[in-house]
Structure 1
Amino acid sequence: MMDVTSMKIDGSQPIKLLPARSWRTYLGGKLLDELHGMSDPKDSRYPEEWMMSIISTNRNADRQHLIDEGLSKVDLPDRDISLKDLVDNNPVEFLGKKHLEKYGKQTGVLVKLIDTAERLIIQTHPDRNQAQELFHSLYGKTECWHFVGGREIDGEPPHVYMGFKPGVTREQWKLLFEEQDVQGMLACLHKYYVQPGDTFLIEAGIPHAIGSGCLLVEIQEPSDITIRLEKISPSGLKIDEFLIHQGLGFEKMFDLFKYDTFTREETLENWQVVPEMVTELEGSKEIELIGYNRTPYFRMTQLEVQTETEVQGDGIFSGLYILSGKAAVKAGEEHLSLKKGDQLFIPAQVSSFSIVNNGKEAVKALRLFGPDVN
């Protein structure tokens, strides 16, 4: 662990983090390259940017040496300090007393910015009880998708697949996997075209696949445990057997799916989330995109600032991701200049901070919260 106690980075100020790109089994990331002004933006095996991350990527055998991949690092020109270093050294300041008492020195949340150039492999994730029993993990992987953009790929608009259609059975699902009938598996799931602003809660056990052309922010439990149903990705990458069944074997992995079936309308009613206004003031408003009334595992809101607004910390940590505009974030005498694509970690000790619009367009920012501490 790095000694950060003498580096004057404490929990009294918001902390700017660097983008943390992660290798995945699918192609994407061109829009992320463009976002950060790279000279030759292109799709690659790095389609995700991780935020507020104190965990590393779940790696296959040939990437085990990359122990820092996925970890959020502090934006400093001359020092290599991770958010995990800061949390480990000052958990009360960074996470808050209530959070620490309930969850220990874990943030309990992970956020990703995802850009897909191809459909992700059909998959599901364990719930918290299954994760503890089968994988000795504190966390399952319930997740939430909030779409912020996208592009057409081969003439196909952004889309997703989720939930079993009426009539699908475990036996049918398992047979389709054994035959590697990918089109048959996709036909078992509901397909929806998505627009910026759409939000879906994907509970653990629900079969799903993010389609091509999607740009989204995913907030989730901090686990990378994924059961995959395809042995070869849409772009032709052969998937390691461990990455398919995560050590469970090809029989037991089917225990992790929830085989409840719903109509197209019922599926949307179950998992599409309608935004709710939190506060609306002169010059700013805050909208809840996913709240603790839907899941205790995380919360996400969107701030829209025309002029200036003060944000209360309430003794809990959070993240801030700038979707659009130029802003200054001020806490006490300190301030940070931010633009689209920048991200901050707000320690629990920061009692309040201000967001000042420094440009012509409205500042839009996502506030990202860990699990409910109450």
Structure 2
Amino acid sequence: MLNYPIKFQPILKDKIWGGDKLVNNLNKKSNLKDIGESWEISDVEGDVSVVENGPLKGRSLKELLETYKGDLLGKNNFANFGTNFPLLIKFIDAKQDLSVQVHPNDELSKMRHNSFGKTEMWYIMQADEGSRLILGFNKTIKAEDYVKLLEEKKIMSVLNDVPVEKGDAFFIETGTVHAIGAGIVLAEIQQTSDITYRIYDFDRVDDAGNERELHTELAIDALNFSDKIDTERNYSSTKNSLNEVVKCEYFKTNFIPVEGALELDYSATDSFVIFMCVEGNATISVEGTTETINFGETILIPATAKNVIIKGDCNLLEVTV
């Protein structure tokens, strides 16, 4: 049986900059010390998600893709991606600043790493007072300026600081220099890729006294040095409606504030649907099978599902390709 709300076991990642909010606030189960990421749906090699509920419990996402093909992905998606799931879905807790980094585009990623690029978006679920993101440059610079500033440890002087609060949303195209600041919990939707070029890491060291690797040379060809990159996304919050946040060639994300009951018709949608619960809780029903979605949880709806009924009081991100 494929047509039911599918949950996956979260894949938790210990990070030098991670904290305890994914356990304490989002109810993830782990004994790891500093959990920075919860990979909710992943087809990254070595980190493939496993179903945790229903008739398909215990089967991997890759097994589902190989068995159900277009019935899971959507016919057009299967034609484009085959048995590769096109998105990586995460929750992130930054207790400390993440490294300053950039992701290469599809062309560079394919050539260098045989991978997709890494276009992504962020939805801020919680932000401590004074929290901020780094997004792009505050002035246009040249590649040689970038290298010189790195050598002089002055790269932060040309980076664009963006204060954030709960509910803010950002679209980060490949080539955009960026970092998540301390005190932020967010939902991340991205292409399936784990390719990151680390530019600057605040001279941090791990428990063994080692600094993390930087990718200065690789990043030069990947970076957009302009100061004209538009990252912030404004969106509506109409109750029981699909409010568009991001629409790009890789994914579409809508914000859905659910109040009471909402029925969604996906009969004309040739794509799987992902729901990320960013506030509250609800039940999600597909063809008579019901699953609870709580704050910090994620559900996958197969492409063959026609109708979805949501009941509760929550805010959801709806993601399709």
TM more than 0.5 = yes
CA RMSD of aligned residues (A): 2.5
Give 1:356-367 correspondences, 5 Å limit. 356-357=311-312, 362-367=313-318
The aligned counterpart of 1:4 is: none
CA distance, structure 1, for counterparts of residue 257 and residue 263 of structure 2? 12
Check conservation: 2:279, 2:316, Cα contact below 8 A. yes
CA distance, structure 1, for counterparts of residue 30 and residue 108 of structure 2? 43
Check conservation: 1:148, 1:216, Cα contact below 8 A. yes
Check conservation: 1:29, 1:48, Cα contact below 8 A. no
- 1:183-214 superposed Cα distances (whole Å, 9 cap, x missing partner): x1111111111011111111111111111111
The aligned counterpart of 2:49 is: 72
- Percent identity of the aligned residues? 26
Instruction: Give the CA deviation at 1:240.
Output: 4.7
Aligned length: 316
Give 1:322-333 correspondences, 5 Å limit. 322-333=277-288
Instruction: Give the CA deviation at 1:315.
Output: 3.0
Instruction: Give the CA deviation at 1:85.
Output: 1.9
Check conservation: 1:113, 1:216, Cα contact below 8 A. yes
Partner SS for 1:251:
helix
Indicate which of 120, 127, 137 corresponds to 1:143: 120
The aligned counterpart of 2:274 is: 319
Distance 1:160 1:43, change over 3 A: farther
Instruction: Give the CA deviation at 1:337.
Output: 2.5
Gaps in structure 1 of 5+ consecutive residues: 1-9, 57-66
Partner SS for 1:306:
strand
- 1:325-367 superposed Cα distances (whole Å, 9 cap, x missing partner): 332211122111232222211110111110012xxxx221111
Whether 1:53 aligns to 2:42 is yes
CA distance, structure 1, for counterparts of residue 298 and residue 136 of structure 2? 32
CA distance, structure 1, for counterparts of residue 318 and residue 10 of structure 2? 17
Give 1:158-177 correspondences, 5 Å limit. 158-177=131-150
Indicate which of 63, 85, 108 corresponds to 1:130: 108
Amino acid of the structure 2 residue aligned with 1:47? G
Higher-Rg structure is 1
Distance 1:43 1:118, change over 3 A: farther
CA distance, structure 2, for counterparts of residue 40 and residue 334 of structure 1? 29
TM-score, reference length from structure 1: 0.77
Partner SS for 2:22:
helix
Distance 1:276 1:107, change over 3 A: farther
- 1:2-33 superposed Cα distances (whole Å, 9 cap, x missing partner): xxxxxxxx322121222221244x32241111
Whether 1:275 aligns to 2:229 is no
The aligned counterpart of 1:64 is: none
CA distance, structure 2, for counterparts of residue 330 and residue 160 of structure 1? 36
Amino acid of the structure 1 residue aligned with 2:37? E
Whether 1:353 aligns to 2:308 is yes
CA distance, structure 1, for counterparts of residue 95 and residue 39 of structure 2? 18
CA distance, structure 2, for counterparts of residue 16 and residue 115 of structure 1? 21
TM-score, reference length from structure 2: 0.89
Check conservation: 2:204, 2:211, Cα contact below 8 A. no
CA distance, structure 2, for counterparts of residue 233 and residue 48 of structure 1? 22
- 1:67-91 superposed Cα distances (whole Å, 9 cap, x missing partner): 33xx322114995322222112211
The aligned counterpart of 1:309 is: 262
Distance 1:252 1:288, change over 3 A: closer
The aligned counterpart of 1:91 is: 69
